[in-house]
Structure 1
Amino acid sequence: MMEERHRPKVVVMGGGTGLPVILRNLKGHDVDITAIVTVADDGGSSGIIRDYVNVVPPGDIRNVVVSLSQLSPIILQLFQYRFDSNDQFFAGHALGNLVIAALSEMRHGIFDAVQELSNIMEVDGHIYPAANEPLELNAEFSDGTTLTGESEITAAHKLIKRVWVTSSTHQDIAPQAVDEVINAIMDADQIVLGPGSLFTSILPNLMIENVGEALRQTSAEVIYICNIMTQKGETEKFTDADHVRVLNEHLHQNVINTVLVNTKKVPDEYIDYQRWNEMSRQVKHDFKGLRDQDCRVISSDFLELRDNGAFHNGQLVVDELMNLIGQVDSRFDTHI
């Protein structure tokens, strides 16, 4: 009798710089990877392109494509190249952003464009934009005021009460994810949220109505990689339990099954707060607060110190994710 082993399906959801770190380290493992990428970013080159062309901001998608591509380093460097000329249009733009914008017009939507790009770039896995249209992030602050736009919300430096997303083009219609996104969540063995900005990278995906519903219904283990540092204008003074509480409250259910928490201390005076101006202070550990939300807590050294900043060590995080997959591998062994 031959034994066929199920290839675990891992879905990673988020945006910003944290998502590619996890994906790059996952790529070398025997898992079926799906990246679900936020489409509510309005900053930098992505935001400028969005102002001129009605497409989803391409920056996060570009970085995820590169993290999962199997092409040669020189092609990836070209795709990531950011023009430094003085030309009024090209200056500051990444070449990959322009390619994604062009494909979005050619294929009449970001979802089909990214699937085409994934084939061109020989992506190992699946990359799904969270929605097939540009979304706007909205926030209500503790003082009752509201703002629209990721960069504006972060720059306000006020305590965020809740966030939600709306369509940039159809204000009266609630955004929906395409079937492929929902099927990936429902069929997953493991769903990984983060690391990344809580309100502006992770929650925008979860606030899409059918994505949130799928997370409430999926039988997959939902794992949250808690941030190492609090973020100015978003999570100042937050503990790890506060991060999980915000996620669960937005989803109206205790959805987070397992949380990965870094307990290695960031050395005093190491962080260059001028360079990393979003970082505030190290997230404090609140084990009881996490357990009160029915979380399994895995606390360890997940820290990488580099360039006078504190980040997740992608290899250490993914090693733990693979340990968790290993705990349930026996469920997937079948005989033929």
Structure 2
Amino acid sequence: MRAVALGGGHGLHATLSALRRITSDVTAVVTVADDGGSSGRLRRELGLLPPGDLRQALSALAAAEDGGSLWSEVFQHRFGGDGALAGHAVGNLLLAGLFEVLGDPVAALDEAANLVGVSGRVLPMSVEPLEIEAEVTGLENGGVSRIRGQVAVASTPGQVRRITLHNPERPDRPPAAAPQAVRAVLDADAVFLGPGSWFTSVLPHLLLPDLHDALVRTRATKVVVLNLIPQPGETAGFSPERHLDVLFEHAPRLRVDAVIADRDSVPTPARLRHAAAGLGGRAHLADIADQGVAGRHDPDALASCVREALGLAREQ
């Protein structure tokens, strides 16, 4: 099965960790709008794609049951202290070096995948560093405010209503998707959106015209994986079905086949089933939360629910 997962950060890591239990042919399509931490520093200083979410995806696909290879561990190692390297992950620096030497982010990620032992592939959703802009209500001015930057949007005390995406270096034209990411979605057997930061990791993929069109046209089974808990700042107070409403508002032409949610995270299952049906899909509720870590999906349980949603359990 050719599986493609779109997202970023810890949410994408959860999906990839589950998918690699089902198939070795997994492609991650990763957001490139991060502007905080180590990634933000490298982006501002070197003008490169922010590498942090890309590194996380490589780590998820390289991780083995026994803890992974030495290279995978080193890739995730973060420098301490208070010097110039403090806070930087080794993998971020390595990716930045590959980006500069090869001049092609996709080729650089393929080389990094070989280094850490990834059997699938990690792709940026765009080869241009992008910027998120959000319409936010509930701030001091009482009206609609515009906030720029992933960190600012993710941490706003207001209510995010809508986001747009653009390349700050070319604000006069729509941002372009990486052709390899578009092709991966069109060729996939199954495509996954979520979980993750809804406005800053999941929805941005729908705002690239070419990638949005591919998600609408692909014949793959399309699956949305919902978060376990609302995220303060971005989706505070959101019900599970509200996540789907926002998805539809940003991509009215998109239809999905399945919506996966944790049973204990859905107060009103009938409402979620109705919302999923409105997008053309069916809701699948199961116990998929990690009982040892709050807010994290259990990869084995999520993989089992994915099998059910795709009909693989029945085939077996």
**TM-score in terms of structure 2 length:** 0.90
The offset of 1:70, in angstroms, is: 6.6
Alignment of 1:89-100 (within 5 A): 89-100=84-95
1:49 matched to 2:45? The reply is no
The offset of 1:186, in angstroms, is: 0.9
Q: 2:120 aligns with which of 122, 125, 141?
A: 125
1:305 matched to 2:291? The reply is yes
Counterpart secondary structure, 2:162: strand
Equivalence for 2:277: 291
Q: Which has the higher helix share?
A: 2
Equivalence for 1:86: 82
The 8 Å contact of residues 222 and 258 in structure 1, kept in 2 or not, is answered as yes
The 8 Å contact of residues 27 and 124 in structure 1, kept in 2 or not, is answered as no
| Cα distance between partner residues in 2 of 1:327 and 1:78 | 35
Q: 2:25 aligns with which of 32, 42, 62?
A: 32
| Cα distance between partner residues in 2 of 1:75 and 1:254 | 39
Counterpart secondary structure, 1:35: strand
More deviation, 49-58/23-32: 23-32
The offset of 1:172, in angstroms, is: 1.8
Equivalence for 2:106: 111
Alignment of 1:91-240 (within 5 A): 91-142=86-137, 143-240=143-240
1:319 matched to 2:312? The reply is no
Equivalence for 1:67: 60
Equivalence for 1:334: none
Equivalence for 2:72: 76
The offset of 1:24, in angstroms, is: 2.3
The offset of 1:225, in angstroms, is: 0.5
| Cα distance between partner residues in 1 of 2:62 and 2:45 | 28
Q: 1:138 to 1:36 in 2, by over 3 A?
A: same
The offset of 1:315, in angstroms, is: 1.2
Q: CA RMSD in A?
A: 2.1
Q: Which has the higher strand share?
A: 1
Counterpart secondary structure, 1:234: coil
The 8 Å contact of residues 138 and 146 in structure 1, kept in 2 or not, is answered as yes
The offset of 1:328, in angstroms, is: 10
More deviation, 27-36/294-303: 27-36
The 8 Å contact of residues 137 and 148 in structure 1, kept in 2 or not, is answered as yes
Q: 1:319 to 1:135 in 2, by over 3 A?
A: same
Counterpart secondary structure, 1:304: coil
Q: 1:248 to 1:31 in 2, by over 3 A?
A: farther
The 8 Å contact of residues 110 and 133 in structure 1, kept in 2 or not, is answered as no
| Cα distance between partner residues in 2 of 1:291 and 1:236 | 24
The offset of 1:254, in angstroms, is: 4.2
| Cα distance between partner residues in 1 of 2:267 and 2:104 | 39
> Taking every aligned residue pair, what percent have the same amino acid on both sides?
31
Aligned partner of 1:77: which letter?
A: E
Aligned partner of 2:291: which letter?
A: L
The 8 Å contact of residues 308 and 314 in structure 2, kept in 1 or not, is answered as no
| Cα distance between partner residues in 2 of 1:39 and 1:125 | 19
The offset of 1:290, in angstroms, is: 3.2
Q: 1:293 to 1:79 in 2, by over 3 A?
A: closer
More deviation, 171-180/62-71: 62-71
Q: 1:129 to 1:283 in 2, by over 3 A?
A: farther
Q: 1:112 to 1:172 in 2, by over 3 A?
A: farther
| Cα distance between partner residues in 1 of 2:261 and 2:63 | 31
Equivalence for 1:248: 248
